[in-house]
Amino acid sequence: MPLIANSNLPSFDRLREEGQEVLAPGRAQHQDIRELHIGILNMMPDAALEATERQFLRLVGSCNRIAQFHTHLFTFPEIPREQKYRDHIEAYYQDFQSLKREGLDAIILSGANPAQSRIEDEPFWHPLMEVIEWANENVCSVMCSCLATHAVVQKLWGIHRYKLADKRWGVYSNRITSQKHPLTANINTRFDAPHSHVYEVNANQLMEKGLFVLAESKQADLHLAVSPDGLRFLLFQGHPEYDAVSLLKEYKREIVRYIDGIRNSYPPYPENYFFEDSREILEHYKQSVERARGDYRDLLPFPEQELSDLVDNTWSDTGKAIVNNWLGLVYQVADRERGKVFMKGVDPADPLGLRS
């Protein structure tokens, strides 16, 4: 069902160009279809701000429920931004306090780049806690990505992330651990998912606190879990929203950090992502960087376009299917009334009847 272009956000035009159905508000008003209002908290840094918008909008727009999806982007002023992106946010994003007054059916919390060893020392920690506390009482469900998952499980269940010896970075095979949960209904029992994190939590930590682990990997451990009530918090440690080139762009940024002297060693490949044809190109570029020996004035540009034609997306169909199931459950149990979400005759501690 269509997204509604409820603002002039440029990402809506980009999605239309990709073939995504996006309705103008005028057309939407003439359709007798129920609305769902989804907040999207974008905590990603400037370089990934607009790409993250499009990634999560695609996931919402791919849902096949008969509903109009009104998306409401917001972020935190505590996150440092260049003026160009502050202007973008001023023009197209909304204020969380106004969203609280208007009410939301569900919220998506993006990940963020960790800058502090203690997550509670991040500049966005306190405003994020306000969002989590409000959402826990006032929306049907919250979908969390990576660092947002780490923040939620620490806040609500006292589960602390830990630092890995090496960054978990690449595309990993996952297996569904519970086919009975409606969030994973009709999903491939084995599927790929990208990960990119230095800190993580694991499946055992969550299960010890009564959370349901729905998908995990032998290599990357936890991919997907859900809160003990089965719906309130959908917790991804992986990134189902990533584009095919997201890890390529991250790899390029790591090479730039090496060239700029920010990191000491040339970055390793993301696991299970670049294959033989890509690696030949990447090895040739690495040799040119090393030959430059610090004088990069004549270094050719990173071959991003050439490589983008060689990487594959092996995860988005499954990611969209899980989000489709999630929004279907939100559609079933959320009742927007007087700007607030109420459950329709269900036990808030077990809205899906999983424990009955």
Residue 279 inside a domain? The answer is: yes
Residue 258 inside a domain? The answer is: yes
Compute the distance between CA of residue 74 and CA of residue 89 in angstroms, rounded to an integer. Answer: 8
Q: Is the same domain home to 191 and 133?
A: yes
At CA 71, angle to CA 185 and CA 157, rounded to 5?
60
- Catalytic, 239? Answer yes
Q: Is the same domain home to 234 and 298?
A: no
Residue 282 inside a domain? The answer is: yes
Residue 354 inside a domain? The answer is: no
Whether 201 shows a pLDDT value over 50: the answer reads yes
Q: Is the same domain home to 146 and 251?
A: no
Q: Is the same domain home to 267 and 222?
A: no
Please report, for residues 28, 118, 125, the alpha-carbon distance to residue 79 in angstroms, rounded to integers and kept in the order given. 34, 16, 10
Whether 340 shows a pLDDT value over 60: the answer reads no
- Catalytic, 146? Answer yes
Contact 199, 249 (CB under 8 A): no
User: Burial level of 297, CB count in 10 A (0-12/13-18/19+)?
Assistant: exposed
Q: Is the same domain home to 286 and 168?
A: no
Q: Is the same domain home to 288 and 228?
A: no
**Of residues 63, 216, 239, 254, which has the active-site annotation?**
239
Average pLDDT, the chain: 89
Q: Is the same domain home to 108 and 124?
A: yes
pLDDT at 356: 55
Q: Is the same domain home to 87 and 196?
A: yes
Compute the distance between CA of residue 51 and CA of residue 100 in angstroms, rounded to an integer. Answer: 25
268 vs 329 pLDDT, higher one: 268
Q: Which band of pLDDT confidence, cut at 50, 70 and 90, is reported for residue 338? A: very low
CA dihedral 147, 150, 153, 156 (to 10 degrees): -70
User: CA gyration radius for the chain?
Assistant: 21
- Give the chain's largest Cα–Cα span: 68
Angle (deg, nearest 10), helices 276-292 and 246-259: 20
Q: Is the same domain home to 74 and 167?
A: yes
Instruction: Identify residue 329 by its one-letter amino acid code.
Output: L
Mean pLDDT on 293-319: 93
Whether 60 shows a pLDDT value over 70: the answer reads yes
Whether 27 shows a pLDDT value over 60: the answer reads no
Residue 352 inside a domain? The answer is: no
Place of tokens 């963020």: 112
- Residue 287: which domain range? 246-308
Domain count, the chain: 2
Q: Which band of pLDDT confidence, cut at 50, 70 and 90, is reported for residue 293? A: confident
113-137 pLDDT, tens digit each: 999 999 999 999 999 999 999 999 9
Q: Is the same domain home to 175 and 200?
A: yes
Whether 307 shows a pLDDT value over 90: the answer reads yes
pLDDT at 117: 94
Please report, for residues 74, 98, 115, 133, 167, the alpha-carbon distance to residue 120 in angstroms, rounded to integers and kept in the order given. 20, 25, 11, 15, 20
Q: Which band of pLDDT confidence, cut at 50, 70 and 90, is reported for residue 16? A: confident
Whether 178 shows a pLDDT value over 80: the answer reads no
CATH of residue 27: 3.40.50.880
Q: Is the same domain home to 337 and 237?
A: yes
Residue 351 inside a domain? The answer is: no
Mean pLDDT on 215-224: 96
**Of residues 50, 146, 197, 250, which has the active-site annotation?**
146
pLDDT at 192: 97
- Catalytic, 241? Answer yes
Query: pLDDT exceeding 70 applies to what percent of the chain?
Result: 88
Instruction: Identify residue 264 by its one-letter amino acid code.
Output: N
Q: Is the same domain home to 163 and 276?
A: no
Whether 19 shows a pLDDT value over 70: the answer reads no
**Of residues 122, 216, 241, 250, which has the active-site annotation?**
241
Residue 330 inside a domain? The answer is: yes
Residue 356 inside a domain? The answer is: no
Half-sphere exposure of 252 (CA within 13 A, CB side): 15
Q: Which band of pLDDT confidence, cut at 50, 70 and 90, is reported for residue 295? A: confident
